[in-house]
Amino acid sequence: MRTGLLRLLIGTAAVLSAALIFSGVTRAQSTAQNISGKQFPATKPAPAPKRDLSGVWQLEGDIGAAPIAPDAQIPPMTPWAKTRFDAEKPGYGARGAAGGNDPILQCDPIGFPRIMMMPTPQEFVQAPGRVLQFWEREHEWRPIWIDGRPLPEDPDPAWFGYAIGHWEGDYTLVVESTGFNEKTWLSPTGYPHSEQMRILERYTRIDHDTIAYDLTIMDPTAYTKPIVTPHRIMKLRPGTEIPESTCVWSQENEFTERIRNPATPKK
């Protein structure tokens, strides 16, 4: 009995050690923290500027291939959403396969919130009445209106929606958005949404170099409960420039012909 317990402890320790070695201690810590869903621990008070997110930021961790939330945390879908879900052929996740029908492979805009899953930087620029959010991915941007206006009641459906925000205290920008079309996936692993989707985000500057990012998706047409995504961390990247990174149909086609198709198994 004791020998069995000892073996179990040794095995557990070995697995944990291997996980740390393979993934890198820093990354493993942040990933475990993110996936656990725990609140971020209080961090040292730093002289972060008040009501100011200006700068270039990048999400931490192995993103780009990550789901909007772990499959087990996605609430049950409505029949409407399940039909769309079944038609998706993503390149990542449990359903991932070469080929597929990811809309971005024909240069459809990646849309919001999926653009927040990309492993490329984004920049906040503050202007009177607005916070402007620029993404390297697709060279896209959106205004977040902080002049007190309400969300529009009947917005035109758009790839990046319509966003308003307000400061909660000096360090948290709360953003609400609506007005999305239903043509985009929530993440590289797929998952549909409807035009009724509303999104709540919280960008909390927990110290000078760090934003804690929280995203909640409310879409009763597609999901029976809100999707609460894992906490994510964004780090300030001083000096980083955001170059042009446009999705160009001709370049995408050439890439598909020379790389993607030859690597895809023949059916």
CA distances from 134 to 22, 26, 83, 245 (A): 33, 27, 33, 12
Contact string (CB under 8 A) for other proteins, positions 236-255, x = contact: ----x-xx-xxxx--xx-xx
- 109 binds other proteins, rule: CB under 8 A: no
64 touches other proteins (CB under 8 A): yes
Shortest separation between residue 88's beta carbon and other proteins, angstroms: 12
- 36 or 224: whose CB is closer to other proteins? 36
What track of x and - describes contact with other proteins for positions 186 through 225 (by CB under 8 A)? --x-------------------------------------
Beta bridge partners, 210, equal 207, 235
What is the smallest separation between the CB atom of 28 and other proteins, expressed in angstroms? Answer: 8
Binding-site string for other proteins from residue 14 to residue 53, where x marks contact by CB under 8 A and - marks none: xx--xx--xxx--xx-------------------------
Among 49, 97, 152, 168, which residue interacts with other proteins (rule: CB under 8 A)?
97
Nearest to 215 by CA among 236, 187, 192, 255: 187
Candidates 205, 131, 209; CA nearest to 166 is 131
Helix (H) or strand (E) holding 11: helix 2-23
Pairing of strands 140-145, 162-168: parallel
Question: Distance (Å, rounded) from C-alpha 242 to C-alpha 135?
Answer: 8
CB nearer to other proteins: pick between 52 and 252: 252
Candidates 75-83, 93-101, 201-209, 222-230; binding stretch for other proteins (CB under 8 A): 93-101
Answer yes or no: are the C-beta atoms of 116 and 215 closer than 8 Å: yes
The CB-of-166 to other proteins minimum distance in angstroms stands at 32
Beta strands in 111-237 (DSSP E): 122-127, 130-135, 140-145, 162-168, 172-178, 198-207, 210-218, 227-228, 232-236
Q: Which residues contact 241 (CB under 8 A, 6 or more apart)?
A: 56
Q: What are phi and psi of 117, to 5 degrees?
A: -95, 5
Site residues (vs other proteins, CB under 8 A): 4, 7-8, 10-11, 14-15, 18-19, 22-24, 27-28, 62-65, 90-92, 96-98, 100, 102, 104-105, 119-120, 136, 188, 240, 242-243, 245-248, 251-252, 254-256, 258-260, 262-266
